[in-house]
Amino acid sequence: MLLATLILTFGPAGVDRPAHQYQLWLFGHFGFTLWDNFWYAGRYSFVGYSILFYPLSQLIGMGTTVVMSVGLGVWAVSMMVSRLIPTRLLLASLLATLLWPTEVLSGAYPYMLSQALGAVVVLLVLADGRLGIGDYAGGTCSHSIGDRTRKTFIVVLLLLQLGASPLGVLFVELFLIARFIRLADLDLGRAGVSIRGIISSFYKAIDLPLVAGSAVALVGLVSSKLFPTMAYYPFWWTDLAEIVAFVLLVTLVLPRRGFRFFRIALGVYLLVCLVAFFVPTELGSNVARLSDASLFGSILIVSLIWARAGVLRRIFSAFLILFSAYWWSTLVTSALTDPQVAARSTSAYWSGAVSWLEGHLGTSYRVELVDPSDHSGDYYLAKSGIPLVRGWFRQADFPTDALLYRSSLTATAYLAWLHDLSVQFVALPLGPYDFSSQKEAQLVRRLSVTKDCLTQVANAGEVTIYSVCNPVAIVSGGNAVAMGRTSITARLPAGGTYRLSIHFSPYLIPSTGCLYRSSNGLTLWNVTSHAVASVRFHLSLTRMLTVFFSDPSSVCAG
């Protein structure tokens, strides 16, 4: 906990930190508002990401929540290691445990909380002794609490974990599935291979942790059905290649006997990764977050097998440690490579841009912030009431902002994108930039020099601001009178269909007419006559049931 506190206090801000600062600010000012017009042209705020981290951080402070998450995770892992790892390997286990606090550098705070809760779940599940991992490592995993109490804690912690981050639940569920397969495999070895024996073995392997974990995972799937989006997280082939390399190296390092469970777990993980690679979902390459624990796990595995390993296995072990160190470092050290991160992480850096935009940005328009590598502007501009095209949840970039990730970004496509999302000004801070914004920064500078639709209008401290020619209003053909976090009011001059530059949600209810989801995920608004009308986010049980059981691609007034 001390190391986590030092990193959090004196280290660079993790790349995900501004997103959580903004979400915490949003919760502190508006409570559980589930919709936000000021990020990503409208998006769900907390549901599907984290509903536990922000109220807990509001109560005890974000820094305290992060440090407590680290402390809980380290304690759970230390308990597992002390019971499963021989005494002679405690130095290696201590080194591995010290790696956990460095995850603070990633800034993935809700996931860290979920990860810590998941570690306690795994500890409690292993305490029943059925899996026999202690036999592999030379230790035991006894416990001193009653079985009913242990199972109650498992269920409660799984629910809390889902509230902290659904991604953490996924990894615990993969562990439980691998455990289920291994328990069935162990029983099948005693019962003999037959149809009846197979059915009996799998039936005996079903227990409360597996059922509870599956039920909690199902709740997460139901939530995604209740709050539908077109968003997805990309799964780059480089991420899949790193996962395959890690799985292959671990497989080569593990002895052929005594590590059956670990081989099953690796197989289950790889299968899920392949499905996530070929089927676009919001999971995407988030499944590669196993890299957070890759170096930790590799050190423990190599420590266990080293004394009895041959020359070839020791060579593979060395490659595994080196690769895991590289893979782990890609998530936790990115903040260390940005020389501007300290300056940009202060309100003073953005105050000039905020003041200028507050005085010049029209009610009907947005700002495109060319995202720096630390994403700090996504917090400081958005909390000041400046609507942004993007924020900092990469899965929300797809498909609407996917063109920024293409190998070639043309001026024609970029300008059409700015008009489609009602951008009046483009704000360009000093670099370095997020990899999705590097080509955009070059293009913005080039277009401003040639006066091709972008014109420099202000130097606000370290941020240069450009105006976009002929910007298209958020309500095209209409005039936005007011825009809040969850509503927009517009003057519609006549009946007809208007393009509303806000992502469609079945919980956006118009005061008149009907809303339809367009092909690009934005909204079309059809009205029968001129009016001053509004669209508001409204959640109700009746509407949730309608969304769950029917097509949510349109919604009408009344």
pLDDT at site 137: 47
Q: What is the pLDDT of residues 75-104, one digit of tens each?
A: 888 787 777 666 556 666 676 667 778 788
What is the three-class DSSP state of 372?
A: strand
Answer yes or no: is 474 within a domain.
Answer: no
Q: Which amino acid is at 363?
A: T
The confidence band for 301, taking pLDDT boundaries of 50, 70 and 90, is: confident
How many angstroms separate the CA atoms of 444 and 10, rounded? 34
Identify whether the C-beta of residue 432 lies closer than 8 Å to the C-beta of residue 338: yes
Band (9; pLDDT cuts 50, 70, 90):
low
C-alpha R_g of the chain: 26
Give residue 108's pLDDT band: very low, low, confident or very high (50, 70, 90).
confident
DSSP string, 98-123: HTGGGGGGGT-HHHHHHHHHHHHHHH
Q: Averaged over 496-505, what is the pLDDT?
A: 93
Q: Say if residue 360 is in the same domain as residue 329.
A: no
In a domain, 459, yes or no: yes
User: Which sign does the torsion angle of CA 540, 546, 552, 557 carry?
Assistant: negative
Q: What is the mean pLDDT of the chain?
A: 86
**Which residues sit opposite 372 in a β-bridge?**
433
Identify the domain containing residue 62 by its residue range: 2-336
As for how many domains the chain has, the answer is 3
pLDDT band at 464 (very low <50, low <70, confident <90, very high): very high
Given a cut of 60, whether residue 192 has pLDDT beyond it is no
Beta strands in 139-183 (DSSP E): none
**CB-based contact 17:109 (threshold 8 Å):** yes
pLDDT of 536 reads 95
Instruction: Examine the pLDDT at 8 and tell me if it is beyond 90.
Output: no
User: Which of 310, 336, 362 lies at the terminal end of a domain, its last residue?
Assistant: 336
Q: Do 200 and 301 fall into the same domain? A: yes
Q: Which of 336, 361, 396 is the last residue of a domain?
A: 336
pLDDT band at 138 (very low <50, low <70, confident <90, very high): very low
- Answer yes or no: is 391 within a domain: yes
357 and 386 in contact (C-beta within 8 Å)? Answer: yes
> Does the pLDDT at position 538 exceed 90?
yes
pTM of the predicted protein model: 0.90
Q: Round to the nearest angstrom and report the end-to-end CA distance of the chain.
A: 54
As to burial, measured by CB atoms within 10 angstroms (0-12 exposed, 13-18 middle, 19+ buried), residue 390 is buried
Does residue 311 sit in the same domain as residue 351?
Answer: no
Flag whether pLDDT at 212 surpasses 60.
yes
Question: Which residues have CB under 8 Å from 444's CB, separation 6+?
Answer: 370, 426, 428, 454, 466
Per-residue pLDDT band for 136 (boundaries 50, 70, 90) equals very low
Tell whether 442 and 551 lie within a shared domain: no
Contact call for residues 26 and 384 (beta carbons, < 8 A):
no
Question: Is residue 13 within 8 Å of 392, Cβ to Cβ?
Answer: no
The CA distance from 531 to 536, in Å, is: 16
Residue where a domain stops, chosen among 311, 336, 361:
336
Residue 360 sits in a domain of what CATH number?
3.40.50
473 lies in a domain? Answer: no
Note the pLDDT of residue 10.
61
Report how far residue 379's alpha carbon sits from residue 350's, in angstroms, rounded to the nearest whole number. Answer: 10
Same domain, 300 and 204: yes
- 75 lies in the same domain as 210: yes
- Name the residue type at position 307: A
Closest to 286 (Cα-Cα) out of 171, 402, 144: 171
pLDDT, position 89? 61
Same domain for 382 and 531?
Answer: no
Range scoring the smallest mean pLDDT among 30-34, 75-79, 143-147, 401-405? 143-147
Quick one: tokens of 263?
A: 């081989």
Residue 140, pLDDT > 60, answer: no
Higher pLDDT pick, 275 / 133: 275
Are residue 375 and residue 433 in the same domain, yes or no?
yes
**306 with 317: CB under 8 angstroms?**
yes
> What pLDDT shows up at residue 139?
47
* One domain, residues 400 and 544: no
The pLDDT tens digits of the residues spanning 351-392 come to 999 999 999 998 889 999 999 888 889 999 999 999 999 988
Of the listed ranges 229-233, 322-326, 418-422, 426-430, the one predicted with least confidence: 229-233
User: How much is the average pLDDT of 232-247?
Assistant: 93
- Are residue 358 and residue 235 in the same domain, yes or no? no
pLDDT at 339 over 80: no
Return the exposure string of 44-63: e unless at least 16 CB atoms fall within 10 Å of the residue's CB, then b: bbbebbbbbbbbbbeeeebe
Same-domain status, 360 and 267: no
| Whether residue 81 is found in the same domain as residue 202 | yes
